[in-house]
């Protein structure tokens, strides 16, 4: 069953994210994706995440497809104009890629090439319009296609714990009207806030997959609170990670094996998944290099 079919069947699904390497050795990303085989409905591939130069999402998705793993190609508007974006959508389709997550993208000043010139010819909503136009048989200039990518399955993102939330809700409706057929969210750590968000969008019938970022440390949690808009890690979770970090330090000082932070991170993620499951149609896990721990998270969550 494909990712699209699972959502249409109203199954509860899991997706996970992998990041292409900064270099040409694809061994690690392919091995990480292999660990997810049979455990997730599809694997997202980031597109120059955080404006850092890497192997493309398109190339990585193609390799995953060849490996028999269904990819979701992320596509950002930062680096390409409308000609290149539409061309890459067609190219992805030719290579057998059907799922596309449309994003605006982080500004280049946040990445490893801060002097790079950003494009932003389109944003996430207009990229969805462009992709839907291709499905309907015309490009953005109104030219008819000789053949159409009829099975493209388009997605978008939302930040459900943003404050204020109204702009996110407004843009969510815009994205759905533009062609988004599934939604993946930014990281959620506050179940109550997400439940309140879902009550605000009861009219939305598009499947929503809640984002879970694996916490690696209390410092990471504090950094997200200070620097990632719309993401709030509650104090009790920060305390859990801080206590785990202290146990690891003590174990190291005593020459013993640690692993408390990893164990606690897995427990927190599994607990969030169990609590969020009744509120959504799936979970999207963003492991940020800890993909090898995702099977343990899913097992702990009872999935």
The number of residues in the chain equals 303
10 Å CB burial of residue 237 (0-12, 13-18, 19+) is: buried
Residue 289 is predicted with a pLDDT of 86
Residue 252 is predicted with a pLDDT of 80
| Closest by Cα among 175, 159, 184 to 45 | 184
- State yes or no: pLDDT of 297 exceeds 90: yes
Task: Give the CA radius of gyration of the chain.
Answer: 19
Tokens representing 18? 């992998």
Give pLDDT tens digits for 195-254: 999 999 999 999 999 999 999 999 999 999 998 888 999 999 999 999 998 888 887 887
Residue 256 is predicted with a pLDDT of 76
Q: How far apart are CA 33 and CA 68, in angstroms?
A: 10
Domain boundaries, the chain: 3-214+282-296
What b/e sequence results for 118-150 when a residue is b if at least 16 CB atoms lie within 10 Å of its CB, and e otherwise?
A: ebebbbbbbbbbbbbbbbeeebbeeeeeeebbe
What's the whole-number average pLDDT of the chain? 94
Asked if 147 and 126 count as a contact pair (C-beta separation under 8 A), the reply is no
Q: How far apart are CA 110 and CA 174, in angstroms?
A: 26
Q: 10 Å Cβ neighbour count for 95?
A: 14
DSSP 59-79: HHHHHHHHTT--EEEEEESSS
Tell me which H or E stretch contains 174: helix 166-178
Half-sphere exposure of 206 (CA within 13 A, CB side): 23
Residues contacting residue 206 through CB under 8 Å, at least 6 positions apart:
176, 180, 181, 182, 183
Q: How far apart are CA 136 and CA 23, in angstroms?
A: 37
| Closest by Cα among 85, 42, 90, 84 to 67 | 42
| 3-214+282-296 CATH | 3.20.20.220
Residue 228 is predicted with a pLDDT of 87
- Work out the percent of the chain whose per-residue pLDDT is above 90: 87
- State yes or no: pLDDT of 258 exceeds 80: no
- Which SS3 state, helix, strand or coil, does residue 252 take? helix
Q: What's the whole-model pTM score? A: 0.94
| Closest by Cα among 264, 262, 219 to 240 | 264
Residue 4 is predicted with a pLDDT of 97
Give pLDDT tens digits for 102-119: 999 999 999 899 999 999
DSSP 203-217: T--S-EEEEEEPP--
| Closest by Cα among 64, 67, 82 to 17 | 64
Residue 251 is predicted with a pLDDT of 77
The label of the residue with tokens 């020459």 reads 255
Residue 25 is predicted with a pLDDT of 97
Residue 257 is predicted with a pLDDT of 80
Tell me which H or E stretch contains 242: helix 235-253
Tokens representing 214? 């694996």
Average pLDDT over residues 59-86: 97
Q: How far apart are CA 222 and CA 234, in angstroms?
A: 10
| Closest by Cα among 2, 157, 16 to 70 | 2
Asked if 229 and 251 count as a contact pair (C-beta separation under 8 A), the reply is no
| Closest by Cα among 166, 164, 201 to 183 | 201
- State yes or no: pLDDT of 132 exceeds 90: yes
Give pLDDT tens digits for 133-184: 999 999 999 999 999 999 999 999 999 999 999 999 999 999 999 999 999 9
């Amino acid at each position: 069953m494909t990712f699209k079919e699972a959502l249409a069947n109203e199954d509860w699904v899991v997706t996970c994210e992998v990041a292409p390497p900064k270099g040409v050795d694809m061994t690690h990303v392919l091995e990480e994706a292999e660990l997810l085989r049979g455990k997730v409905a599809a694997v997202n591939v980031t597109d120059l995440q955080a404006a850092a130069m890497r192997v493309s999402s398109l190339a990585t998705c193609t390799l995953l497809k060849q490996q028999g793993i269904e990819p979701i190609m992320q596509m950002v508007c930062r680096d390409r104009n409308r000609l290149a974006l539409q061309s890459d959508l067609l190219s992805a389709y030719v290579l057998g890629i059907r799922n596309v997550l449309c994003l605006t993208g982080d500004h280049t000043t946040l990445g490893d090439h801060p002097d790079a010139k950003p494009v932003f010819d389109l944003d996430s909503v207009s990229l969805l319009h462009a992709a839907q136009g291709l499905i309907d048989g015309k490009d953005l200039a109104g030219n008819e296609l000789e053949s159409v990518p009829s099975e493209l399955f388009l997605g978008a993102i939302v930040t459900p714990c943003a404050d204020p939330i109204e702009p996110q809700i407004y843009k969510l409706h815009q994205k759905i009207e533009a062609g988004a057929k599934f939604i993946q969210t930014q990281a959620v750590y506050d179940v109550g806030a997400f439940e309140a968000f879902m009550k605000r969008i009861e009219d939305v019938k598009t499947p929503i997959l809640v984002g879970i970022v694996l916490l690696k440390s209390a410092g990471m949690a504090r950094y997200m609170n200070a620097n990632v808009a719309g993401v709030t890690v509650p104090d009790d979770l920060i305390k859990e990670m801080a206590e785990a970090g202290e146990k690891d330090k003590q174990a190291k000082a005593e020459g013993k094996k640690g692993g408390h932070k990893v164990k606690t991170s897995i427990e927190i993620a599994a607990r969030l998944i169990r609590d969020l499951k009744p509120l959504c149609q799936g979970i999207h896990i963003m492991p940020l290099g800890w993909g090898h721990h995702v099977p343990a998270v899913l097992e702990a969550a009872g999935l």
